[in-house]
Structure formats: C-alpha cells, structure tokens
Amino acid sequence: MKKTIFRILILLFLAIGVATAAILFTPTKPPVPRVSDYTITSQLAANQPSFYPIKQTLDPNLYRPIDNWVGRLILPKPEEFQQDDWTTLEIYQSPPDQQNLIGKKVKLAQKHSPSLDRYLKLVTTDIKFTEAAQKSQKQGNLLPDRLNGRSNVGPLQALAGARPNDDVIVSFNKAQITTKTDETSLLIEQMPLMVTGRFVGLVKIKGEAPAKSKTDIPTDCPNSLPCPSDLLRVQHYNPKTNQFDGITEIIRIPQQPRISGNRFISTPRELANSSEGKEGWYIYGAQGKDGLFTVQAIRPRSLFQLKPIENVFGLGSGLNYIAHDNWKNTPERRGTAQRVLVDPRSDSPKVALANWKEGDHGLGIHLFGGIGGKNGESIKGGTVTGHFSYFLYKIVRDRFTNELQWDISYDQVYAHNPQGILAGHQSWENYQGNLQRGWLNSRPTSNVIVKSDLLQDYHFGSILVSPLTELQRQLEIMMARYRTGDGTGNASVTPAASCVQDSNQALYITIEVLKNQIATNSAIADWLKNHPDDPETQRFQRLGQLSERLKQVLVPRGVIRPDWQQNAEIIAGVAGRENYTFTDQDTLANALLSWTSMLPRVSHDVISQIFLEQGATLWFMRTNQIGGFMPEILPIAPTNIFGEMPIVSAALRRILASIIFRPKSEDWILTILALCAYAAIAISIGLKSRFLQWQPIKQKPFQLIKTLFFLFLSPALWEELVFRVILLPYPDRLNSFASIFGWAIFSLILFILYHPLNALVFYHAANPTFFNPVFLILTALLGLTCTVVYLLTGSLWTIVIVHWVVVVVWLLYLNGFSKFIRPTTAIARNR
C-alpha cells in the first residue's frame, strides 16, 4: 500500500513540474497566422488621421485643446535621415502666439544635454529583424516593419516608425522654436506624451440620436442586431451652474470593428445607461469631415474625482484589502468602478481625504486582468497573468469644473502586440480610454496611487536627489528598448523578460543608482553627517528601509540576475563599466532568479503592501469593463500562478520557489552546522536511552546505492515537500512573524503525529518503533531543525539533505533497521 502511495506522489510531483514548465516557459502562440487587430481597426475611417481636417471650427467654450502642442509623428524617409535622432511633426495644436504653425510639418528633436547623450547611447540601435521577429509578425503582432534595415535608430524615430502608418499622436507643454533656412524645428526636453484626439469636452450622454445616413449605422456590434446609430445626443457641462444643462448637440462615437477572439474592444451601445457616466464623460477627439465631433477616447469623470466611495483604515485592514477585497467578485462588478482610500494611520474619512492636496504628485502601480465570458480569452492552468506598469500622477484643477482631479500618465514597458499599443509615455485616455485599442471597456484594471513622502525630492543643501525623476529615466530607457526589441525588431513576453520584470528592473536600477549617487558624492555624505537630526536626513533613512524592502521582492533571497546587476552598474557609472551595451539575458536561469517579479498580480499586491507598511496612503481606482454594454465578455481578475485554487495554487507556488533557488555557500554552511547540532543532541539522547546503538549494516555496492536513492526519495524528499514546503509560507521575508510561527508549530505537530498514524494505517512494520517516546522526541527535533533550515535558506534541497543524512545514518549505522519487524522488507519499501 505504501509503495503505491509513494509512486502516486512521485507521479504527482512530476506532473506538477511538467505543468509548471508548460505554463512558465512555453510561449503562447496563436494556432495559425493571423491579421493584427490594428490592421482590422485601422480600416475604420474614424481611426484614420485623414478623417480629421487640420482646420477645426469647434466652439472653444465647449471643447478645449488637450495641450499646448499636439501633432502627428511622421517617419522621415531613409534619405532624409541624419545622424541625430529626430522625426517630422505635423502640428495640430500650438500655443496662441504660434497659430501660424498649425498644419505645418516641422522637425521635432530633443535638446542636447549630457543626460540625453547618455540616454541615446544606451538605446540607439541598428534594426534588423530576426527570425523570431518575422515569426511574431505572422502571429499577428505589430512590429516596426518600416524601421527594418535602418541604422542608428533613436527613440524618437522608433516611436514615429512603430506602426505601419504615421498615426502616432503626441503632445508636449512647451518647446523651443528654431528656424534655419526656412526649416522650423521644435526642441523638447524629454520624450513627448502619446495622446488621443486634439480636443476634450465634458458632456453627459443622453442617448442615441437618429442616423443621418446609412453609414451612421454599423453593420456589426455587440449583443443583438440591428445595431444602434453611432450618433449620440449629449449635453455639455455648464460651468456657471455646475450642471449638465449646457448646449445640446449630436456627436459621433463610432462602433469599433470585431477583432480577434470574435469580440469588440469597445462599443457605444447603451453607453448612456452606464452607472459610471452619471457624473459625465470627458470625450477626446476632433471634428470629422462632416463637421460632427467624433470621439476617439472617453474618460469617466467620476473615476478621477477625489471622492472615495469607501474608506479602509488601519494597516491590517489595508493589507487585507490589497490581498482579498480589491479583486473580490470581479465578474459580478461588470460595468462598475471602485474608488477606495486606504489610510493606515487615520480613522476619519474627512482627515484622510484632507491629506490629498492640489499639486501632490507621486508614483502609481497599474495592473489589468483578463477577458472572460462567451468570447473571452483562453486561460491556461487557471492563470490570468494580466499586465503591470508604473505611472506618475498629479492632483490638478480640472479646466471645466475647477474640482480636484487625478492627472495620470503611464510609463508603459509594453511588448509588441496585435493592438498596436506602444511602449512609451502615454496619457490615461490614450492607453485606457482609446476606443480603438484602450482597455477601459474590455478589461478590469487596478490603479494604485501611492502617497509617500519618501518618494519626494531630497534637498541636501544645494544638491537635489529625485527618486521619481530617476525612476522615470530608467523606465524611459526600458520603453525605448522595447520599441526596437534591442535591434531585433521584436520585444516579446518570455519567462525572463516581460512588462512586469523589466518595469521592476527599472525600479531595481533606480535603487542602485541612487545608492551609488549617495555613496560617491562626498558633499551629500558630509551633509548627512552634519545634519543627523534634520527631517531630510530622517526621511532619507526611511527611504533606505523602503529600498531594502523593495529589493526583497526584486532580488529574492539576495540573488541578483547578472544582467540586472550589469545594467545597474553601467547606468550608475560604476568604475570598469564604461561599456554602454545594455544587457538582456533571456535565459531560464534568469527567469528563475526574477521569480517573485515574474507575475503582474504578485508585484502589484506585494509592492502595494510594502508601501502601505512603510506608512504610505493608497488610493485604489478599480474599473470593471466600463463603457458600453458587451454581454459576450466578463471581467476576470488577474491571478497568481495556477490561479486562485484554494490551497493547491499556494502549494504549487511554494514548491516551485523552493526548487528553483539554489542554495548559496553560506546556506550550505548553515545547513551543515544545523545538522551537526542535531546530531550532537540526538546521539546524546539516543545513546543514553539505548534507542541508538552502533551497529553498521553491510550491503553490496549496488544494493547500497539503491538504498540511498530510495531513502532520498522517501522519506526525505516527499516528507519535506509536504511538511515544510507545502505547509510553511515561503520565507521571502514578506510574511509576518506571527504567520510563520503559527504555521511552523502546526506543521511540526502534523509531522510528529504522522509517524504513529503511518504505522497504524500503512506501515505496520514501524509499529511499535513509531510510538516510542524517544523516537518521537528525535522526530520532533528533526522537524524543528528542518523548519529552521528551511526558513533560513528557502531551499527544498537543504532540508532534504538534512533529513536524508539523518535517516541514512540511523538505519545503516545506528541500529535503525533492527527496530522494524522485517528489515529486508523495510528496504524494499524504501524505509
């Protein structure tokens, strides 16, 4: 019976290993070549730049330009290219004193500076598509095909040539204008912001308007036919009354085409009935050829108001919200949004809200989930990976309502994809609210806004240190590299390189760069030494604690990916690292080393928890397929690996983590010391009680090897898997002491009780040995030793070795086999 159970367990563990490898290390591929979603949606006239005339005659009281400068990037021809990184910009919007430039095509470049030169050296590359890039194209991913074969492609040209058509719209607040020989140039200080539309208005959608022609009624749409008209009646916000009692007009919100998966990315159907539209919608777009304002992106006003619908107070409640309540009942929340304020130090909604003020700015964490339902995505192994990124926020006064609102811009490290979403700096409405490719209407999302004084600028006398500026700089490098695929033309998701891992690599490099900056700047060190009680010094010390906590996630168990370490040293300017080649080692070993930052949900939750524990206040913006009504899909929460199967998913993650992290030399030293300590105590007790006696058993070499092998598998391997790895929280220093202590006691009790129960039910030859009080004491001591070793090393292999050595010495040398009724049978049964 025991042999049968043992074989079943071995097969189970092998199946777990195969399933894990299949999920983590097999890229998801469409079964057949397909056309990209971008190609499909670009056929709609409203998604083409030519649909919108340069000259616009909108009422400035109703529609306002989205920025001072707005324009369309146009990739220069190869013969026009010069050494510097630049692109052509067709200007759609300009400041009031530069209205003569609207409609003109000018040269767009970045201002020269030492930091720009360093940035360009890191990301400028020759582009030659690899076989993998060509394969990716056939699978429907949109690659920068127009850049294939070009040399010295910089970040601006990579952005302009990222799609087959010149349809990347960007904005920026200010620019330096230069004119030479009738050539006008705009110089900007940083990469422009990707945006959607030229103008924005604030309206309440009243309902469908009658079609003016057949072209106003789409031939295909969600739910049942016939489709409603693309024309909708809206009423504008009136700033005088603070109500939606302004001018009423007809606008167009086009129905997007059906894309892969037999689903739609967005729809205007029943948009007027959306619960999140009660406070109005911001609509982004421009006049079409027929003079109607055509919407290209939408944004719900209520989501961005500083009005939480729920408050969570206290650290414990906040941690529980992150782990459980944030994504609770996601499918049932379809069409709704949640705005939750989590404050660990307050118990008053009024006081907690008053801490958020105009001008506040900081870091945010973004995560989206999956698409379920009839036309949903396929889900493998119960795992919905989702997508992870960082964003920056600022609290501003809205131009229409004068109320405080969130202004959010994403730094998207984004692999090449079928939709044509680009890696880069982009506005909320361009990434989420865009009707052609945004996720507002089709995916659930979570934006965690972090308010922490630790992320604000530090002033050490006249020296400025800015964590957010440095993080944005590192993200900019990552995003530029993703646009070109580091010259291969293809940036794909692999176990070792993904949105979440490389966003977190940027965070890790930021921490290392700041540490190096402080360590090598004697003026900063002197200032800190001379001002030990200054609030700035104390705040900086807390930043160090935050950095160490974050590194526990980014660099699990202190083992750093070699490519991450090299990249950090290059960017930090460490001596001997003058080579500017950025390293990306897409290997299985590196995938295992960045395990804890591999999954978007894990990073989203754990990093949020760390900020909360370090005193930050969090604001959660959760959406669940907001917009028009699409009954064929449901919002699905992102999961950890193997989904959220009770007990099973946690056990599988713990097994995988304990297997993949190889023990370091100090771990083995600790293991040997623990084994020696156990031996000293156990032998003393055993000899004194005469339970142990020196009586070696002689076996032939082949029989001895067989015995050692089976004793390694059972009891050592499978008992340590069950009683330590599966039952104990993984020792990544992210779990509380109380949790670890409680599970350690529980697992130890089960480990002790297991032996007499095993003798009664399965292994009768072990009766009465497994009931012997001395044996149970030594068993408890072994369990305690293995528990301590596991919590200190995090490795399955160290505790298996301890268990195996103890069993081998006892059975083969200390008269262990004589304690059983039939010793030869015991060997055959792997005891």
115-132 tens-digit pLDDT: 888 888 888 999 999 998
Say what the pLDDT of residue 560 is. Answer: 57
Q: How many whole angstroms separate alpha carbon 355 and alpha carbon 349?
A: 10
Beta strand pairing call for 199-208 and 231-236: antiparallel
Instruction: From residue 239, give the alpha-carbon distance in Å to each of 62, 245, 514.
Output: 10, 10, 46
Q: Where are the domains of the chain?
A: 67-194, 197-299, 457-614, 662-828
Amino acid present at 113 = S
Task: Find the largest Cα–Cα distance for the chain.
Answer: 102
Q: Is the pLDDT of residue 572 over 70?
A: no
Residue with tokens 């607040």: 173
Q: pLDDT class for 823, splitting at 50, 70, 90? A: very low
Contacts 24+ apart (CB under 8 A), 89-96: 89/170, 89/186, 92/54, 92/169, 92/198, 92/286, 93/65, 93/66, 93/67, 93/68, 93/69, 93/171, 93/198, 94/68, 94/69, 95/68, 95/69
> What are 306's two structure tokens?
């500083």
Q: Is the pLDDT of residue 825 over 50?
A: no
Among 170-174, 490-494, 819-823, top mean pLDDT goes to 170-174
> What are 424's two structure tokens?
């880069």
747-766 average pLDDT score = 90
Q: What is the 8-class DSSP label of residue 187?
A: E
Say what the pLDDT of residue 828 is. Answer: 39
Q: How many whole angstroms separate alpha carbon 196 and alpha carbon 427?
A: 8
3 state SS of 233: strand
Instruction: From residue 818, give the alpha-carbon distance in Å to each of 98, 454, 709, 773, 807.
Output: 97, 64, 20, 17, 14
322-338 average pLDDT score = 95
Q: pLDDT class for 498, splitting at 50, 70, 90? A: confident
Please confirm whether the linkage preceding 715 is cis (ω < 30° from 0).
yes
Q: How many whole angstroms separate alpha carbon 821 and alpha carbon 817?
A: 8
**Which pLDDT tens digit goes with each residue over 512-569?**
889 888 888 999 999 999 999 999 999 999 999 898 888 777 766 555 556 656 666 6
Say what the pLDDT of residue 385 is. Answer: 85
307-321 average pLDDT score = 96
Give which of 683, 667, 497, 646 is closest to 586, Cα–Cα: 497
Please check whether residue 341 is in contact with residue 312, taking contact to mean a CB–CB distance below 8 angstroms. Answer: yes
Handedness of CA 709, 714, 719, 722 (dihedral sign): positive
Please check whether residue 604 is in contact with residue 553, taking contact to mean a CB–CB distance below 8 angstroms. Answer: no
Give the chain's radius of gyration (CA, Å): 31
φ/ψ of 693, rounded to 5, equals -145, 140
Instruction: From residue 352, give the alpha-carbon distance in Å to each of 310, 313, 347, 697, 706.
Output: 12, 9, 8, 72, 66
> What are 525's two structure tokens?
């060190």
Say what the pLDDT of residue 607 is. Answer: 93
Q: How many whole angstroms separate alpha carbon 146 and alpha carbon 75?
A: 9
Q: Is the pLDDT of residue 294 over 70?
A: yes
Q: Is the pLDDT of residue 409 over 70?
A: yes
Instruction: From residue 703, give the alpha-carbon distance in Å to each of 708, 827, 829.
Output: 9, 10, 13
Q: What is the 8-class DSSP label of residue 168?
A: -
Q: Is the pLDDT of residue 480 over 90?
A: yes
3 state SS of 34: coil
Q: How many whole angstroms separate alpha carbon 398 and alpha carbon 407?
A: 9
- Residue 337 CB burial class (10 angstroms; 0-12, 13-18, ≥19): buried
Instruction: Give the bridge partners for 178, in sequence order.
Output: 185
Which string of DSSP letters, residue by residue, matches 668-716? HHHHHHHHHHHHHHHHHHHHHHTS---B-----HHHHHHHHHHHIIIII
> What are 465's two structure tokens?
């240190």
Q: pLDDT class for 738, splitting at 50, 70, 90? A: confident
Q: How many whole angstroms separate alpha carbon 353 and alpha carbon 271?
A: 30
pTM, two decimal places = 0.81
Beta strand pairing call for 310-313 and 337-343: parallel
φ/ψ of 411, rounded to 5, equals -110, 90
Q: How many whole angstroms separate alpha carbon 369 and alpha carbon 329?
A: 13
Handedness of CA 264, 268, 270, 274 (dihedral sign): positive
DSSP element (H, E) containing 603 = helix 600-613
Please check whether residue 93 is in contact with residue 68, taking contact to mean a CB–CB distance below 8 angstroms. Answer: yes
501-509 average pLDDT score = 86
Mean pLDDT lowest among 549-563, 622-636, 730-744: 549-563
Q: Is the pLDDT of residue 319 over 80?
A: yes
In 713-736, which ranges are continuous DSSP H helix?
A: 718-720
Tell how far CA 160 is from the center of its chain. 26
Say what the pLDDT of residue 12 is. Answer: 53
Instruction: Give the bridge partners for 1, in sequence order.
Output: none
Please check whether residue 725 is in contact with residue 655, taking contact to mean a CB–CB distance below 8 angstroms. Answer: yes
**Which pLDDT tens digit goes with each residue over 229-259?**
999 999 999 999 999 999 999 999 999 999 9
Give which of 775, 662, 794 is closest to 728, Cα–Cα: 794
Q: How much is the mean pLDDT over the chain?
A: 88
74-95 average pLDDT score = 90
Q: Which is more confident, 65 or 699?
A: 65
Mean pLDDT lowest among 23-37, 108-122, 164-178, 778-792: 23-37
775-782 average pLDDT score = 95
